[in-house]
Chains A and B, each alone.
Chain A
Amino acid sequence: MNEAQQAGLQIDWAGLAPMIIVFVAAFGGLLVEAAVPKARRLVVQVALAVLTLAAAFAAVILNAGKNSAAFEIEGVGIGSVVLDGPGLFLQGTLAVLALIAVLLLAERRTTKGGDFVAEAAVVADSAADKAQRREDGATEIFPLTLFAVGGMMMFVTAGDLLTMFVALEMLSLPLYLLCGLAKRRRLISQEAALKYFLLGAFASAFYVYGMAMLFGFAGTVDLAGINRAGVESGQPRLFLYIGVAMIAVALLFKAAAVPFHMWTPDVYTGAPTPVTALMAACVKVAAFGGLLRVFNVGLSSSAWDWHLILTVIAVATMLGGAIFAVTQRNIKRLLAYSSIANAGYLLIGVIALGDAVGQTMFYLAAYGFTVIAAFAVVSLVRDGDEEATHLARWAGLGKNSPGTAVVFTILMLALAGLPFTSGFSAKFNLFAAALQADEVGLVIVGVVSSAILAFPYLRVVVLLWLNEPAPDAPTVNLPSPMAGTVVAAGVAATILLGIVPGFLLDLVDQASTFLNT
């Protein structure tokens, strides 16, 4: 028997099961790459990933209602992994969203051989690069995705800064790589990967520095301990300020808040669209899950110290994202700026603290479904082999492909927050919680920003329906059941959460309390 067990360490294996399942399957995926013949790899990998995420989701469900630490020494929880309402809800959300995103990654009918190349680092447009583009796409993307998703699940349940950092790297590194694997526009894809990596590494450095500062202030990296120290510690408060600022920079970078958003439009545009969908939905959930936990569990006692600066960032994010979205001519960039603006709305939920945790999580789930479906549609509208991302090319899509145009219109109206869509339910909920927390100013800015943001969405709708198609208008590739399922699931969730949000509202209401708050 090892030392830990002698010391009375109890491990909640069932509680850790979702993450264990995902990580084991990710390693299994690597073995599949080595063991299974190339022709059958895609089927095996997709099946493995889908089953894994479904099993992880089931494991999360079995954990429902837990409110404890996964590791306990003689009955006293140590906070490295915390299984509480928000953590479990977000894990479940991540599993479902990732499951949908995996289907989009597996789509092969729209581009022959899939959207991915095997090696990211080959010099773009060199002979080797051209050769690998003719080959069938890489299937390593599936284990990479599973690693990232496992990291995200760990990120939202991490109870101390150190675990959180490990999770942060775990979710980031595979994503950097995935961004560079686009089969078309290799150079932009490589640029995106490099940019994301460099800025991400920068953010990680900030995180570690901030963690050191908070350790110096609190004498612990445990979030609950930091919170107690916010009241009790006799250390200079400057450590706390610097630490909070640095940690916030890193997390806000992942969340794509202004002024840490610079990477978002470039990376969203350069990355293969299925990966963009994964990032826009899942990374947002993970990042805000982390923000919610850090600020609610770790920093609520020092709320006075960071409230103003976070408010300023939220305002800048809401307005900046909306205003820049107005000028965009590329659909992926437009969705990127819209994602930034949505990060601003979500920040309202972070600032409002405990009153708004459930509502923020509802928003994350609602937005995730909508945005995955939106990117899935983007990946279907094609000029020959390439995606037609320039907005002008979408003119008159309603004439040639009314079904796709109807779907995209519904998604745009949902993003604009019109009633009977999940966008309305989410905004209503979040703004109501914020008003309850007396954040009137933020809500008004949020509403103004929504109104500005409605304009670019509406312009897309105008293009779809009211403009005449060009003679060489892009075609909509009929999706295979893969991407078709993604679009259908996203739109169904968007409408269901708009018309009957009750069940999810009840769920987030029950799951809205962090352990140790």
Chain B
Amino acid sequence: MNELPLLSALVAVPLIGAVAVASIRRENAEAARWTALAASGLVAVIAALVAIGFDYSPDAPWLQFTESYAWVGAWDLNLSWGIDGIALLMVLLTAGLTPIAMLAAWRDLDSVKRSVPAFFALILALEAAMLATFLASNVLLFYFFFEAMLVPMYFLIGSYGTGPKKQYAAVKFFLYSLLGGLLMLVAVIALWVNNGGVFDWQTLVDAEPMAAGTLQDWLFIGFFIAFAIKAPFFPFHTWLPDAGGAAPAAAAALLVGVMDKIGTFAILRYCIPLFPDATQRFAPWVIAMSVIGVLYAAFVAIGQTDLKRLVAYTSIAHFGFIGLGIFAFTQEAAIGAVLYMFNHGLATGLLFMVVGFLTIRRGSAQIADYGGAAKTLPILAGVFLFAGLASLSLPGTAPFISEFLVLLGAFNGTFGGNEPVAVLATLGIILAAAYVIWMYQRTMQGTRNPVLDEMPAMKRDLTVREKALVAPLVVAILVFGFFPQPLIDAAQPAVDNTLLFISGSPEDLPAAEGVTNE
């Protein structure tokens, strides 16, 4: 199994697919759709093969399925791929969500005069870039795809988005991310200059850790701001509601479901192992940002009048939980954060898609345009409620496990003083219940908006295609809600390896400093 270049294939297949689909003539929309779906289906199969061949034992090497091909020797830039448990979960999420998102947008473009092949080619290019960031084991290679993925997403929002502000949203998204990326570029170069020209991740991790001090602090900041914008953490979040609100539902599902996870994934993969001291130094600040994000975004979400913006704000709140989980530096919290990344992708992806089904029927994302919609759309309403409840982490759904682990881990944090943080963050659950239930109530229940009766589309419940593509997500959310163990098994070795950089050097811990100095 290991001899097959599966990881290269994971990147190459969607990339080749994107080129192939882009070269299909515009009139031939049907062929473009099926080619794109076939390519993303093949990616899903390869991802499944990787998951089957993956060694889940704790003493397996950190990165598996490693491959490396020389590219630009002068920069130590190689096509190096490798996968750990965290990346595996993200790859599975990406590979699973992309075909579903394509199916969700299957017919959405029929009513607008936009090129169908270009749309699906952009989704495939996005998938390739996202997979490459999860699989790259070379810092510069990661950076390449981290930046490159902005281009397809920019066109997806700006060209295929909805609403009057789509161009504004696309440009804002691009510039925010680019600014973060360029700051990271300075840090990437400085890292390279400082360590004598090494970009290979494994070499960097195996080497003597970087000396604590100002340089490490600045490098951490350079990387972290880029990732915090990507995630996005409060206060770098303002692009997400615009982008999420304007993006077509399928792209929004990928944007929030997968692309934003790259930020948190990269904090685990790069910030902690490369800059362990700085990570600890800044942890209190990040935790404060996270908790503010949880509470602030939840409050703002309650006040939203637009469904897609509301879902985007809920995601910002959820990213606060993930940040809290990572920077609490306990095993439970970090595993919780990784699971959260995976489960949030499922739940929010589902939520965005259902919102997409709803808004394309009604032609509006304004909550006020609905009311009593459940009467004619019972199944859609049911899935909508389920997705909402999963998003607020109802026990029995997968996100519950992750949120519980994060809060538990934060409460037991080794640094002390995290109890109030955990208590505050718990308030976020109550607020989440408020915005989800209220959103559902205003759209689906209550007095029926008479306009809805005049719209034939609002009487057409989920089609077979729509049911077929929400079903796997619903099943996954339920299955992992009751049996999270496979996810934990996958994440744990990588999480332990990562946290070794924090706990494996006890003399660097603030609490122990006084002891060694004596």
Q: Is B279 an interface residue (CB 8 A)?
A: no
Q: Is A403 an interface residue (CB 8 A)?
A: no
Which chain B residues border A465 with CB–CB below 8 Å? 155, 158-159
Q: Is A488 an interface residue (CB 8 A)?
A: no
Knowing A451-B175, A451-B182, A502-B72 are in contact, say whether A462-B148 is a contact too (CB < 8 A). Answer: no
Q: Is B170 an interface residue (CB 8 A)?
A: yes
Which chain B residues border A440 with CB–CB below 8 Å? 190
Asked whether A419 lies within 8 Å of B147 as measured between CB atoms, the reply is: yes
Residue ID in chain B nearest A462 by CB atoms = B167
Residue ID in chain B nearest A454 by CB atoms = B178
Asked whether A447 lies within 8 Å of B158 as measured between CB atoms, the reply is: no
Question: Which among A413, A418, A444, A506 is the interface contact of B186 at CB below 8 angstroms?
Answer: A444
Residue ID in chain A nearest B179 by CB atoms = A451
Which one of A46-54, A371-379, A430-438 contacts B? A430-438
Q: Is A30 an interface residue (CB 8 A)?
A: no
Knowing A428-B189, A501-B72 are in contact, say whether A462-B158 is a contact too (CB < 8 A). Answer: yes
Asked whether A462 lies within 8 Å of B189 as measured between CB atoms, the reply is: no
**Which residues of B in the span 336-356 have a Cβ within 8 Å of any Cβ on A?**
none
Q: Give chain B nearest CB distance to A137 CB in angstroms.
A: 38
Task: Type the 1/0 row for B57-90, where 1 means its CB is closer than 8 Å to any CB of A.
Answer: 0000000000000011111000000000000000
Task: Type the 1/0 row for A481-517, where 1 means its CB is closer than 8 Å to any CB of B.
Answer: 0000000000000000000111001100100000000
Interface size of B as a range: 20 to 34
Which chain B residues border A454 with CB–CB below 8 Å? 174-175, 178
Interface centre among B73, B144, B147, B182, by most A CB within 10 Å? Answer: B182
Which chain A residues border B147 with CB–CB below 8 Å? 418-419, 424
Which chain B residues border A447 with CB–CB below 8 Å? 182-183, 185-186
Knowing A418-B148, A419-B148, A420-B144 are in contact, say whether A509-B186 is a contact too (CB < 8 A). Answer: no
A455 to B175, CA, bound (A): 7
Which chain B residues border A505 with CB–CB below 8 Å? 72, 74-75
Q: Classify the secondary structure of B's interface with A.
A: helix
Which chain A residues border B468 with CB–CB below 8 Å? none
Which chain A residues border B155 with CB–CB below 8 Å? 465
**Which residues of B in the span 437-458 have a Cβ within 8 Å of any Cβ on A?**
none
A416 to B74, CA, bound (A): 23
Q: Is B143 an interface residue (CB 8 A)?
A: yes
A379 to B478, CA, bound (A): 60
Q: Give chain A nearest CB distance to B146 CB in angstroms.
A: 8
Task: Type the 1/0 row for A429-460, where 1 means its CB is closer than 8 Å to any CB of B.
Answer: 00110011000100110011011001100110
Q: Give chain A nearest CB distance to B12 CB in angstroms.
A: 14
Q: Give chain A nearest CB distance to B296 CB in angstroms.
A: 26
A413 to B178, CA, bound (A): 12
Question: Which among B148, B178, B179, B189 is the interface contact of A432 at CB below 8 angstroms?
Answer: B189
Residue ID in chain A nearest B146 by CB atoms = A419
Q: Give chain A nearest CB distance to B9 CB in angstroms.
A: 20
Interface centre among A448, A450, A459, A465, by most B CB within 10 Å? Answer: A465
Task: Type the 1/0 row for B204-246, where 1 means its CB is closer than 8 Å to any CB of A.
Answer: 0000000000000000000000000000000000000000000
A465 to B74, CA, bound (A): 36
Q: Is A466 an interface residue (CB 8 A)?
A: yes
Q: Is B193 an interface residue (CB 8 A)?
A: yes
Asked whether A431 lies within 8 Å of B185 as measured between CB atoms, the reply is: yes
Which chain B residues border A432 with CB–CB below 8 Å? 189, 192-193
Knowing A418-B147, A450-B182, A451-B182 are in contact, say whether A502-B189 is a contact too (CB < 8 A). Answer: no
Q: Give chain A nearest CB distance to B430 CB in angstroms.
A: 39
Asked whether B167 lies within 8 Å of A443 as measured between CB atoms, the reply is: no
Which chain A residues border B109 with CB–CB below 8 Å? none
Knowing A420-B148, A465-B155, A465-B159 are in contact, say whether A435-B75 is a contact too (CB < 8 A). Answer: no
Asked whether A428 lies within 8 Å of B171 as measured between CB atoms, the reply is: no
Asked whether A435 lies within 8 Å of B170 as measured between CB atoms, the reply is: no
A82 to B103, CA, bound (A): 65
Asked whether A443 lies within 8 Å of B144 as measured between CB atoms, the reply is: no
Q: Give chain B nearest CB distance to A461 CB in angstroms.
A: 8
Residue ID in chain B nearest A421 by CB atoms = B148
Knowing A428-B189, A506-B74 are in contact, say whether A462-B182 is a contact too (CB < 8 A). Answer: no
Asked whether B189 lies within 8 Å of A458 as measured between CB atoms, the reply is: no
A444 to B190, CA, bound (A): 11
Interface centre among A416, A450, A502, by most B CB within 10 Å? Answer: A502
A436 to B193, CA, bound (A): 6
A281 to B159, CA, bound (A): 33
Which chain A residues border B158 with CB–CB below 8 Å? 462, 465-466
A323 to B151, CA, bound (A): 23
Residue ID in chain B nearest A505 by CB atoms = B74
Q: Give chain B nearest CB distance to A469 CB in angstroms.
A: 12
Q: Would you mind naming 11 contact pairs between A and B with Cβ atoms under 8 Å apart?
A: A427-B185, A428-B185, A431-B186, A444-B186, A462-B170, A466-B158, A466-B167, A501-B74, A502-B71, A505-B72, A509-B74
Known contacts A443-B189, A465-B159; 5 additional CB pairs below 8 A are A418-B148, A418-B150, A419-B145, A443-B186, A462-B171
Closest 5 CB pairs of A and B: A419-B144, A505-B74, A447-B182, A451-B179, A466-B158
